[in-house]
Amino acid sequence: MRVFWVTALIILVDQVTKLAIYASMYRGQSIPVLGDWLRLTYTLNPGMAFGITFGPPGLITMLALAATLLILVYIIRVRRGYAPYRYSLALILGGALGNIIDRVFYGKLFGYAELFQGQVVDFIHVNLWRGYIPESIPLLGGTYAALFPIWNVADMAIVIGVVGILLFQRQFHAEWQERELQASEADTSHLEDPADSASDADAATEQASDSTPPMEVSVDPSSLDAMRWAADEDGDASVPPVPDPPEDQSNEARRDG
């Protein structure tokens, strides 16, 4: 399907940029691009988004693999659905696979961990906000904080894909329901009414009986004499007398002569 080209493109761009950062920067290095608002900062993320970690090493990788497999199956299932919705899913799939490659192979490839225990390379540093948190927020209120997520191309693809799903899901479900309704109507149109079938069968039988020629019965004169003799012997008055067969015209001509 064409949507998988989007997935492949996201994986390619994501891996090329990560390998370029790994080869040209050291961990913790930060290079300004647009002042402090946008920087290239090389870091490794051992967990999920925003560095969230839980469970033993490799658990997050296994969960990510399971979720990615479900997304792949779902894309195949809705392969004839609304195109923008499917492309949004393809973006999420590409981002998920891009980060899974880091988690599965990078630890072994770069020599700092075993397979399935690698860390995701992040480098796009966006400084969204800095300031004091309002006092009304429990625990964190009144403290100075900076909101500057560091992510990568795969993370950006996932975010854009999620936004696309939220925007296009209504149109997708509307078209999907309409397609299922048309399919059900097409199936029921092939079914015939039993009453119509019975009437058609009766009409065919009547037409066949009308077209059948009448049966011709030939009677042997000798058998007629036998039937008349049997009726006279039994005295059965229910058997009507059988008339003698007409004589051949040649015999009449012989008697007249």
**Cβ-contact 100, 63 below 8 angstroms:** no
Residue 122 among the catalytic residues: yes
Taking a C-beta distance cutoff of 8 angstroms, is the pair 154, 96 a contact?
yes
Q: Where are the alpha helices (DSSP H) in the chain?
A: 3-24, 59-77, 83-101, 107-110, 153-188, 194-211, 221-234, 249-256
Instruction: Return the structure tokens found at 179.
Output: 């397609």
Q: Which of 36, 122, 200, 256 is catalytic?
A: 122
**Which residues have a Cβ under 8 Å from the Cβ of 17 and sit 6 or more positions away?**
123, 152, 153
Among residues 154, 165, 167, the alpha carbon closest in space to that of 87 is found at: 165
SS3 78: coil
Cα 224 to Cα 76, 215, 234, distances in angstroms:
85, 20, 16
Residue in 14, 102, 155, 248 annotated catalytic? 155
Active site residues: 122, 155
